[in-house]
Structure 1
Amino acid sequence: MGIGSLRSRLVVLLSVMALMGVALVAGGARASAAGIDRAAFVALAREAGLSGEQAAGLQEKVDGYLGKLAGSGTQVSPNQIELGGAVLNVAVPGENGPRPLGDVSATVENAGECNGWTKYGWFCAYKYKNRSGDNIGMYRCGYYDIPWVTTGSWVNNQTTGTEPMMYYTNSGSELLPPAYSYRDSGVNWRVVDRIRNCP
């Protein structure tokens, strides 16, 4: 079965669960739908060539991020979380950075815009130094939570002169250098709460 076919099955399953949710207790409906989402994304990851262990490990990472984001993100592929103007790309456990797994979601402009480079118009936050590890690609103006506590990097390749604002957990903030700019190491994400990628 191809990835397109699995994606079609996922859409059908989610539609059925949405209809069933009308007749079920809200809490039970959400739990059932979440279980089907999880299983479908794991199946898509397997179809994309991951082993059962890799697919399960990847879904655990995604689940962890969804928990930290507390409702502000929606899983749209085996390794993508849509953030309403940004996309969090998740690497398969043991790999240096995210890679495409199946079709890019229609709700995400392009999931690979932060994989090693940053397309013009984007701000990319990387979990680790030298633009590696999981990343968040911000393509629309907004506030985006940083869900990791590592030492990483960022690239600001937005419209020339755009200055993002970094907000800290201690309620402080810092205006970052205007585009084009970058910091390939030493970014202490542990103290960062969120980023507004535009003025």
Structure 2
Amino acid sequence: MTAGLDASQAEWLQLEVERYLAPTGGRQIGPNKIDVRGGAEVRIALPGETRPREFGSSSGSAKVPACDGGTAYGHFCAYSGTFGSGSQIDMYNCDTYRIPWSGRGSWGNNQTKGTVALFLDNWGLPIDSSRAPSNNHFYDWTPVHDVINC
């Protein structure tokens, strides 16, 4: 068992991390975490779980991740599930980030007031935008290829 997971959960999680690594351009930094160029973090939820698990925080003083329970100030959070559920991408540095999923999900934009995030299609053309602070609990990621969070 790895990090409190049974063998099948650990195998599924590692395969899911590997599936996200190439499109996001990141590197694995935990059992369910990917660092994307030091400006974003992908956290992967196990099937049937509302949010990604927090592994390795035995001190009891671990901070709540910026995309759990809402979007922390200064962040843009993309979620694979509706209403802030599922896997998540916490974007905190200004950059362009790949969205590695499609279908119904959600997002929260709690960056500095007035900051505009752009949603881009496969050709890099804007198809949607969001002015902070705002959110969408039921958003179709299917046409979205990338998000520029600022």
Which residue identity does 1:197 align to in structure 2? N
User: What's the TM-score, normalizing by structure 2?
Assistant: 0.88
How far the C-alpha of 1:50 sits from its partner, in A, is: 1.2
Matched, 1:190 2:142: yes
Shift of 1:148: 0.5
2:16 is aligned to: 61
Task: Please identify which structure carries the higher strand content.
Answer: 2
> 1:29 aligns to what?
none
Q: 1:96 Cα deviation (Å)?
A: 1.8
In 1, the alpha carbon distance for the partners of 2:128 and 2:117 equals 6
1:137 aligns with 2:90: yes
How far 1:175 sits from its partner (Å)?
Answer: 5.0
Gap change, CA 1:179 and 1:194, over 3 Å in 2: same
| Rg larger in structure | 1
Distance 2:144 2:40 in 1: 17
Q: Distance in 2 between matches of 1:126 and 1:193?
A: 14
Question: Is the contact made by 1:149 and 1:189 (CA closer than 8 Å) also made in structure 2?
Answer: yes
Runs of 4+ in 1 over 3 A off after TM superposition: none
**Equivalent position of 1:172 in the other structure:** 125
Structure showing the higher helix proportion among its residues: 1
Matched, 1:93 2:40: no
1:74 corresponds in structure 2 to 27
- In the other structure, the counterpart of 2:56 is 102
User: Which stretch has the larger CA shift, 145-154 or 168-177?
Assistant: 168-177
Query: Structure 2 stretches of 5 or more lacking a match?
Result: 58-62
State the aligned residue count: 144
Contact 1:89–1:111 under 8 Å retained in 2 = no
CA contact (8 A) 1:164 1:178 kept: yes
Kindly report which structure 2 residues correspond to 1:9-20, keeping only aligned pairs within 5 A, or say none.
none
Aligned partner of 1:115: which letter?
D
Q: Which amino acid aligns with 2:20?
A: Y
Q: Which residue of 1 aligns with 2:108?
A: 155
Deviations 1:47-87 (A, max 9, x none): x3111111111111111111333xx1100000000002000
Question: 1:146/1:75 Cα in 2 relative to 1: closer, same or farther (>3 Å)?
Answer: same
Q: Secondary structure at the match of 1:140?
A: coil
CA distance in structure 1 between the partners assigned to 2:131 and 2:114 by the alignment: 5
Q: Percent identity?
A: 40
2-structure distance, mates of 1:171, 1:159? 24
Unaligned runs of 5+ in 1: 1-42, 104-109
